[in-house]
């Protein structure tokens, strides 16, 4: 643990912060299909075939 000062500086609570973004990613996919800028989804908007 001492080898990773980052963990020491950022209490256990901070370590849980990173996972938070993951939740946002789950909700993003739903909005991505609506964005024409986003091309690469499973044929949701327009397939880059």
Per residue in 25-49, pLDDT (tens digit) is 555 555 555 556 655 555 555 555 5
Query: Looking at the domain assignment, is residue 36 inside a domain?
Result: yes
Burial of 5 (C-beta count, 10 Å sphere; 0-12/13-18/19+): exposed
pTM of the model: 0.12
How many domains in the chain? 1
Report the pLDDT value the prediction gives residue 31, as an integer from 0 to 100.
Answer: 52
Query: Looking at the domain assignment, is residue 4 inside a domain?
Result: no
Query: Looking at the domain assignment, is residue 1 inside a domain?
Result: no
Query: Looking at the domain assignment, is residue 2 inside a domain?
Result: no
Q: How far apart are CA 44 and CA 35, in angstroms?
A: 10
């Amino acid at each position: 643990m001492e080898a990773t000062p980052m963990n020491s500086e950022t209490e256990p609570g901070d370590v849980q912060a990173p996972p938070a973004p993951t939740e946002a990613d789950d909700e993003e996919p739903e909005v991505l299909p609506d964005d024409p800028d986003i091309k690469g989804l499973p044929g949701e908007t327009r397939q880059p075939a």
